């Protein structure tokens, strides 16, 4: 059997009342080596599965499954009569007030998801079929779709009508409770019909994926877009590639000297703390071992792909089905013992030169299948109408797939996405395509028009590459801050890889600046920040103070976001006007020596006029390697105390007032007094001089309670947090017109005027714009 004839989805269910099973062709339905007769046995298993579904269905209210034709000649069950009652409620509200907006009381429409599924499959209710599809399309991963049917997740399904003051209204569907739901979906209501999504296959919907549309999208990008010409870094291939062979085999080969089309896999290994040790050992064991610096013969010879974890198996099958002969998978194609520093710094080449990057959005870990049953498409698409309103499920946005899939929680995958000119996101029920010129979702095309007023703008994964190409320096720095926000919330198996997992982006950023500035470039990489806009990069903030225990200040200095613990939400993008008084002076200390750069490690060891990219890569790698070790920098700026020496501490509750979601301060109880307050739970700290406006800062870490063990083990001046009772030791350095660093002196260092960051204050221009008027300008060392 040839790889190109491979079908991607196995039989799992027999489609009842909507499709008939045809005799399967052996070459079309194999997903793994098996005789076609075995598929017939699977069909028998499907029939039994269907019978079991009916037995599992709740029987407390069987009348909800009874259907009849409505005024639009559609099948409608008794459960969906409740939806019509909600629509009548909405009609009454709009007759009373045409501008009415609000939500109806919740209405139960089915006793469980299994009952909804049974109604869609057996009763043929058109509305329930749409509701079922909406629930399934909301599940990005295969586990999410499977969990809908789990016996422990069978709670009532509620519907709520949301009437908006403008535009179409919507039905909000929730499992278990409208206020606390594990599964939800949105159904839009419109006066006009919208185009129905196509069906994923011509003969048997839901059982397999038809790749014809995807091939057309890929070919269109290849032949009609400028993605490759703009963003392909070079014609070099990765050092090692997996070559896909017939007979379900693959072979590790050296990247050919001529350019080849290859696919790159971006996936999540999984969390070793949440899986059995044997499963994690299997994932780690898939890595290519070496003997004498060369991969072992078992990998240099053809081997069965079933030896690899499931996500890798399915990725190889998918690449082969799309006509590609090579794939790059990090765990296999970076042999153990390889210089990780060298390989990580070349990721902008590996991903930039690929035909496309395959993002395994449907997998939670490497041992999960990438390809799942596409249950959302069991029934063919059909227009649905209730009480004169057309129903259609809300599209799952590309942003949701990007930011909510398990692969987005892994730090390494951030640069894999941002460095890829073309990306295929493979979710459990459909695929999404993104390149610099077009975004497509299977059976539909993402709208390129401006979003509605109440919807966020659609983001573009290729924005970083586009800005590197155009050389827009200001926007490029803003994009780096966006990268910081996305990176700090992610996880790493090894915290020591904090900088390594970002090194490809840093090299690409530097190369974008170097290509414009040439030899005169002044940019420098400083522990995750950039020198040319250093004040702006220093002004990052945590959204709320975090536990200081797992901080990474042994890896990065206190002034770098890289010193924060893993999985912390930060804010780095906001309006910023630099101060004329702030100045970067010099790098004072690099703690660890950097490894030497050996151009000979690359296939083209020296730069030539025909290939200047080699020199840029070498320079970029040197800058990035040096930047990881920067620990102390000297800066100059206006400097003062944050809290007056004679200020009085007051309780936070005594000054903060809440009016709904709004917060404000009332200092009426402390007229003419210098005061300060600290919020112990979220790390906010306030300073107010008598007859002046207040400044509110955000501390990076929460302090342990007074007398706690942490206070005994670590002297206050060395703690990464600001100890309770030490608030008056805070000093501040002006970064911008409404931005300052909050610092404490580091008395352990012999170097005078050394300070550690403990927080930041941003956006106080409306309350205390003149906070630094008349203050001295001072040179200090940030450690």
- Is residue 507's pLDDT more than 60? yes
364 is written with which tokens?
A: 């939670």
CA 615, 617, 618 angle in degrees (round to 5)? 65
Statement: residue 581 has pLDDT above 60:
yes
pLDDT average, residue stretch 666-694: 94
User: How far is residue 589's CA from residue 404's CA, in Å, rounded to a whole number?
Assistant: 39
- How far, in Å, CA of 474 to CA of 466, rounded? 13
CA torsion sign, 579 to 678 to 487 to 500?
positive
Do 380 and 199 touch, CB atoms closer than 8 A? yes
In our burial notation (b when 16+ CB lie closer than 10 A, e otherwise), range 238-255 reads: bbbbbbbeeebbbebbeb
Residue 91 has pLDDT above 80, yes or no: yes
Q: Residue 82: is its pLDDT beyond 70? A: yes
Decide the pairing of beta strands 630-641 and 583-590.
antiparallel
Give the residue ranges of DSSP H helices in 263-396. Answer: 277-285, 297-300, 310-321, 330-333, 340-344, 347-352
Mean pLDDT in residue range 180-185: 94
β-partners of residue 163 are 102
205 has a pLDDT exceeding 60: no
pLDDT digits over 395-433, tens only? 889 999 999 999 999 999 999 999 999 999 999 999 999
Q: In whole angstroms, how far apart are CA 744 and each of 388, 548, 588?
A: 66, 16, 19
Mean pLDDT for the chain? 84
- Assess whether pLDDT exceeds 90 at residue 70: no
In angstroms, the CA 149 to CA 315 distance is 26
**Contact of 738 with 765, CB cutoff 8 Å:** yes
Q: How confident is the model at residue 606 (pLDDT cuts 50, 70, 90)?
A: very low
Closest by Cα among 680, 668, 689, 753 to 721: 680
Q: What is the CA radius of gyration of the chain?
A: 30
Cα distances from 358 to residues 216, 234, 328, in angstroms, run 16, 20, 10
Kind plus residue range of the DSSP H or E element containing 384: strand 384-386
Q: What is the mean pLDDT of residues 510-539?
A: 85
Q: What is the pLDDT of residues 446-479, one digit of tens each?
A: 544 333 444 444 578 999 999 998 888 899 999 9
Distance CA 745, CA 753 (A): 7
Nearest to 2 by CA among 355, 326, 317, 372: 317
pLDDT band, residue 214 (cuts 50/70/90)? very high
Spatial separation of the C-alpha atoms in residues 380 and 206, rounded to whole Å: 9
Cβ count near 673 (within 10 Å): 16
Measured from the Cβ of residue 751, the count of other Cβ atoms closer than 10 Å reads: 12
pLDDT score, position 171:
94
Task: Please tell me the predicted confidence (pLDDT) of residue 394.
Answer: 82
| Percent of the residues in the chain that have a pLDDT greater than 90, as a whole number | 63
User: What whole-number distance in Å separates Cα of residue 683 and Cα of residue 561?
Assistant: 17
Q: Are 14 and 21 in contact (CB under 8 A)?
A: yes
Any idea what the Cα angle at residue 6 is, between residues 378 and 18, rounded to 5°? 20
Percentage of residues in the chain having pLDDT higher than 70: 82
List pLDDT tens digits, range 93-102.
988 888 888 9
> Average pLDDT of 189-202?
68
List the one residue out of 185, 133, 127 whose CA is nearest residue 158. Answer: 185
DSSP 683-729: -EEEEE-TTS-EEEEEESBPPPPTT-HHHHHS-GGGSSS--TT-GGG
CB 81, CB 387: distance < 8 Å: no
Longest dimension (CA), the chain: 89
- Give the number of other Cβ atoms within 10 Å of residue 51's Cβ: 10
pLDDT confidence band for 198 (50 / 70 / 90):
low
Whether residue 592 has pLDDT greater than 90: no
**Overall average pLDDT of the 362-390 stretch:** 89
pLDDT > 50? residue 34 = no
Tokens (6 digits) for 602:
């690359």
* The two structure tokens encoding residue 279: 């499963």
442 pLDDT band (50/70/90 cuts)? confident
**pTM for the whole thing?**
0.85
pLDDT of residue 242 exceeding 50 = yes
DSSP state, residue 259: -
pLDDT score recorded for residue 614? 52
């Amino acid at each position: 059997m040839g790889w190109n004839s491979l079908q991607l989805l196995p039989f799992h269910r027999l489609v009842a009342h909507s499709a008939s099973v045809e005799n399967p062709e052996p070459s079309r339905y194999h997903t793994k080596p098996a005789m076609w007769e075995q598929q017939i046995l699977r069909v028998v298993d499907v029939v039994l599965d269907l019978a079991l579904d009916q037995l599992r269905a709740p029987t407390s209210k069987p009348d909800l499954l009874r259907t009849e034709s409505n005024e639009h000649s559609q099948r409608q069950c008794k459960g969906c009569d409740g939806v019509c009652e909600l629509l009548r409620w909405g009609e009454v509200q709009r007759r009373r007030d045409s501008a009415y907006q609000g939500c109806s009381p919740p209405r139960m429409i089915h006793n469980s998801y299994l009952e909804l599924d049974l109604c869609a499959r057996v009763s043929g209710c058109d509305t329930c079929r749409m509701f079922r599809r909406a629930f399934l399309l909301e599940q990005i991963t295969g586990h999410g779709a499977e969990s809908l049917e789990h016996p422990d997740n069978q709670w009532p399904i509620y519907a709520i009508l949301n009437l908006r003051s403008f535009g179409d209204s919507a039905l909000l569907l929730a499992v278990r409770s409208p206020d606390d739901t594990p599964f939800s979906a949105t159904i839009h209501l419109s006066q006009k019909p919208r185009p129905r999504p196509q069906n994923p296959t011509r003969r048997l919907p839901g059982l397999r994926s038809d790749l014809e549309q995807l091939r057309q999208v890929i070919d269109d990008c290849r032949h009609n877009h400028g993605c490759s010409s703009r963003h392909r870094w070079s014609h070099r291939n990765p050092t090692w590639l997996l070559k896909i062979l017939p007979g379900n085999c693959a072979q590790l080969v050296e990247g050919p000297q001529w350019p080849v089309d290859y696919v790159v896999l971006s996936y999540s290994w999984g969390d070793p703390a949440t899986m059995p040790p044997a499963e994690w050992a299997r994932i780690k064991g898939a890595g290519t071992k070496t003997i004498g610096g060369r991969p072992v013969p078992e990998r240099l010879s053809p081997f069965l792909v079933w030896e690899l974890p499931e996500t890798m198996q399915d990725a190889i099958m998918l690449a082969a089905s799309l006509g590609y002969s090579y794939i790059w998978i990090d765990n296999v194609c970076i042999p153990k013992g390889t210089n990780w520093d060298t390989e990580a710094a070349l990721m902008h080449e590996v991903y930039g030169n690929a035909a496309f990057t395959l993002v395994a959005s449907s997998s939670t870990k490497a041992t999960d299948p990438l390809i799942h049953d596409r249950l959302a498409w069991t029934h063919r698409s059909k227009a649905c109408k209730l009480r004169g309103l057309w129903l259609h499920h809300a599209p799952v946005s590309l942003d949701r797939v990007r930011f909510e899939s398990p692969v987005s929680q892994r730090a390494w995958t951030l640069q894999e996405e941002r460095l890829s000119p073309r990306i295929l996101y493979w979710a459990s029920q459909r695929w999404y395509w993104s390149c610099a010129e077009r975004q497509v979702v299977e059976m539909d095309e993402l709208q390129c028009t401006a979003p509605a007023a109440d919807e966020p703008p659609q983001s573009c994964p290729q924005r970083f590459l586009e800005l590197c190409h155009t050389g827009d320096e200001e926007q490029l720095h803003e994009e780096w801050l966006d990268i910081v926000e996305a990176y700090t919330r992610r996880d790493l198996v090894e915290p020591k890889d904090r900088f390594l997992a970002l090194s490809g982006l840093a090299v690409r950023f530097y190369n974008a600046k170097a290509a414009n500035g040439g030899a005169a470039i002044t940019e420098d990489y400083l522990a995750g920040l950039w020198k040319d806009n250093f004040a702006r990069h220093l002004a990052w903030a945590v959204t709320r103070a975090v536990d200081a225990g797992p901080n990474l200040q042994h890896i990065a200095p206190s002034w770098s976001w890289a010193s924060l613990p893993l999985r912390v939400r930060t804010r780095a993008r906001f309006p910023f006007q630099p101060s004329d008084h702030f100045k970067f002076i010099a790098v004072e200390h690099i703690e660890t020596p950097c490894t030497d750069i050996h151009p000979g490690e690359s296939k083209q060891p020296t730069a030539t006029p025909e290939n200047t990219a080699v020199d840029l890569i070498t320079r970029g790698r040197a800058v990035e390697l040096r930047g990881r070790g920067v620990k102390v920098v000297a800066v100059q700026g206006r400097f003062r105390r944050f809290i007056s020496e004679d200020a009085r501490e007051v309780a936070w509750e005594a000054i903060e007032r809440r009016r709904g979601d709004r917060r404000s301060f009332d200092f009426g109880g402390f007229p003419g007094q210098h005061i300060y307050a600290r919020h112990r739970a979220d790390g906010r700290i306030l300073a107010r001089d008598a007859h002046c406006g207040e400044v509110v800062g955000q501390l990076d870490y929460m302090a342990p309670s007074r007398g706690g063990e942490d206070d005994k083990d670590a002297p206050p001046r060395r703690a990464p947090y600001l100890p309770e009772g030490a608030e008056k030791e805070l000093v501040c350095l002006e970064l911008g017109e409404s931005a300052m660093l909050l610092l404490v002196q580091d008395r352990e260092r012999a170097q005078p005027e050394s300070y550690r960051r403990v927080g930041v204050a941003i956006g106080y221009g409306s309350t205390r714009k003149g906070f630094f008027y008349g203050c001295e300008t001072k040179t200090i060392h940030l450690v």
